[in-house]
Structure 1
Amino acid sequence: MTVDVRTDPAPASVAPRRPARRRSAKPRLTRIGLSVLSVALGILVWDLVSRNYTAFFLPSPMLTWQGAVDLVRDGTLWDSVTASSTRILTGWALGVVIGVPVGLLMGCIPWLRLMLDPYIQFFRFVPPIAFVTLAIIWLGPGEASKVALIFYTTVFIVALNTLAGVLAVDDLRLRAARALGASPLRTLVSVVLPSTVPHVVTGARLAMGNSFLTIVSAEIVAAQSGLGSLIWTARNYAKTEWVFVGILALGLLGYLFDWILRTVTRTTLRRYGVTF
């Protein structure tokens, strides 16, 4: 009697799993590499084009870098970035704090929405630059006028996006909450707010972009410091490279603020089970 002893080979499909971090790290490195390559190509094209023009018309990347170094050494660039950042963050934060409750109330109370809608629809089409003169007359040339203009450009965008989020909440979810005995306040906190968060974040990001547009106009008209003032001063002294430094600083600062807003929002909301 023979006994056939067979050893089953290990299933071919069984393979050691790689950590999730390694799988997600490769696409991330690819995105970073492509971004760096894109920036390098842009600087190269800028340098090649600048060789055909004078430094006054189009300064080279090296000349712009030297201008940035000079402005950093004498403290002008840091003072300008600090002044503009403070004004933007203050006005933007006030706009978000006021805009979100206004949007929620308009979405939950129909008669309030009908009363406030004409004002919001009117003022959201009036650009903040139109109020620069009035802001200076009413609030003076100090910080209050700049902050008020940033607040103006933020509050309507945030309120409208919040209102859109409230109106987009599925009516079946609202009726289910009522059927389970949830009070209006409980329904607002547990159903309406989580559904509205993506719209609020989108409105806050859009408002941040508009805040940068507004601050430059306000600082050009009436400010002794700030990136807008730096750009205007560079024009008066025919320092085009300083203009480029101010523009680059605005773009990098806006990119940084938006990245911080997205990162903080996602990290915070994930703890509460809210994703978007």
Structure 2
Amino acid sequence: MPDAATRTLSSVRRRRAAMRGVAPPLWLISLATIAVAFVAWLAATQTGLIKPLFLPRPASVLGAFSDALDGRIDGAPLVEHVMTSLMRVVGAFVLAALVGIPVGLATGLSPSLRAILDPFIEFYRPLPPLAYLPLVIIWFGIGETSKILLIFLACFAPVALAARAGVSAASLDQVNAARALGASRAQVVRHVILPAALPDILVGLRIGMGVGWTTLVAAEMVAASTGIGQMVLNASNFLRTDIVVMGILVIGALAAAFEFGMRRLERRLAPWKGKV
């Protein structure tokens, strides 16, 4: 009887392995999905099913991209718009990481500090950036400070909350073992709690970066002369949906590039995630 059960289990495993071998790679499925979406877009616009005012043709978007590269849109080349937006998003994101990770770890380690900061973080976290944009402008003016601060506030909450949640990933046995070996509180944080919290921190950074890109357009609404969000807003005022779609695709491509970079960093810094 055990021999029959073993043979059955082995047969099931062989069938599963064969099925995995037949299944196409995940990247190929994603590529096919994008191709199908592009064909549907092309068919809907070429046949006149959707008017160009609501969804421009791919050729019109490509033409807008060419015009943007040459600086024929908003008087500045697309590279300048991209670099300006990148400096705002990346600067705010780095600042959110430098402040949010220590704050999250501290609130996770200190219940008293958590009780002090939690009401403020949880109060403003669900607020849309446009809700407090007027206050940011009144307090800090219409310069770069208000733009970076708005994106920083959007990135800060997910980073801090993820770091706080990661503190609980360190088991009490690991902490007690480190203390029994003579580790100080700082050494316990550095060698036990921080590595255990690292996967959650990296997830929080990925979420924070995504939120930062979604806040970019709101940050560039006021007194911005360059930036992808500013270019999209100006185009929407004149119903230039080809420029709007082009700007959306550029923002999406940049955000996707950062997301893939964060995933690679996550695999490098926390290779044990999902395996233990």
> What TM-score do you get using the length of structure 2 for normalisation?
0.84
Residue in 1 that maps onto 2:37: 42
* Per-residue Cα deviation, 1:99-147 (whole angstroms, up to 9, x for no partner): 0001111111222122222222212122222121122222221111110
Residue in 1 that maps onto 2:61: 64
Residue in 2 that maps onto 1:21: none
Q: Distance in 2 between matches of 1:119 and 1:237?
A: 40
Q: Which runs of 5+ in 1 are unaligned?
A: 1-25
Q: Distance in 2 between matches of 1:244 and 1:187?
A: 50
Residue in 2 that maps onto 1:103: 104
Residue in 1 that maps onto 2:154: 153
Q: Distance in 2 between matches of 1:206 and 1:76?
A: 30
1:101-250 maps to which residues of 2 (within 5 A)?
101-250=102-251
The alignment of Structure 1 onto Structure 2 pairs a total of residues equal to 247
Spell out structure 1 runs of 4+ moving beyond 4 A: none
Match of 1:55 among 52, 56, 66: 52
The SS at the match of 1:53 is: coil
The one-letter amino acid of 1:264's match is L
Give the aligned CA root-mean-square deviation in angstroms. Answer: 2.0
The one-letter amino acid of 1:219's match is E
The SS at the match of 1:220 is: coil
The one-letter amino acid of 1:128's match is P
The SS at the match of 1:181 is: coil
Q: Percent of aligned pairs with the same residue?
A: 36
Q: Distance in 1 between matches of 2:111 and 2:219?
A: 36
The one-letter amino acid of 1:30's match is P
Alpha-carbon shift at residue 151 of structure 1 (Å): 1.0
Q: Distance in 2 between matches of 1:167 and 1:36?
A: 38
Q: Which runs of 5+ in 2 are unaligned?
A: 1-20
Question: Highest CA radius of gyration, 1 or 2?
Answer: 1
Residue in 2 that maps onto 1:253: 254
1:20-31 maps to which residues of 2 (within 5 A)?
30-31=25-26
> What TM-score do you get using the length of structure 1 for normalisation?
0.84
The one-letter amino acid of 1:43's match is F
Q: Distance in 1 between matches of 2:49 and 2:80?
A: 34
Alpha-carbon shift at residue 275 of structure 1 (Å): 2.9
The one-letter amino acid of 2:121's match is I
